[in-house]
Amino acid sequence: AQRVTQPEKLLSVFKGAPVELKCNYSYSGSPELFWYVQYSRQRLQLLLRHISRESIKGFTADLNKGETSFHLKKPFAQEEDSAMYYCALDNTDKLIFGTGTRLQVFP
């Protein structure tokens, strides 16, 4: 079955520390993976997708098919990165989301 797993509900770091939000997936085909973010009182929005291999707001994510992972990383966290982060898998035109990880960045 297609599934996305985010093992951490909460990740707390201090400003300037590195961040890694974990995402593992289960998918029988060639996956299209995304990270969505929801800042406080804002709507869910796309942060990045693996196919574009871009860095957004300093975040990167590399698809590792061997480990079936798509972890989100940032070398130096900022307070404004505090938000809810969802990993998502495109499953034939619909998204399957993980349960999300709340990132708290303390000053």
Enumerate binding residues for other proteins (CB under 8 A). Answer: 4, 9, 32, 34, 43-46, 49, 51, 86, 88, 90, 93-100
Minimum separation from the CB atom of position 92 to other proteins (A):
8
CA distance 73 to 22: 9
Minimum separation from the CB atom of position 23 to other proteins (A):
11
Nearer Cβ to other proteins (8/90): 90
Nearer Cβ to other proteins (28/94): 94
Minimum separation from the CB atom of position 75 to other proteins (A):
25
Nearer Cβ to other proteins (38/69): 38
Give me 75's structure tokens: 């070398």
CA dihedral angle for residue 42, residue 22, residue 26, residue 89, rounded to 10 degrees: 30
Nearer Cβ to other proteins (49/71): 49
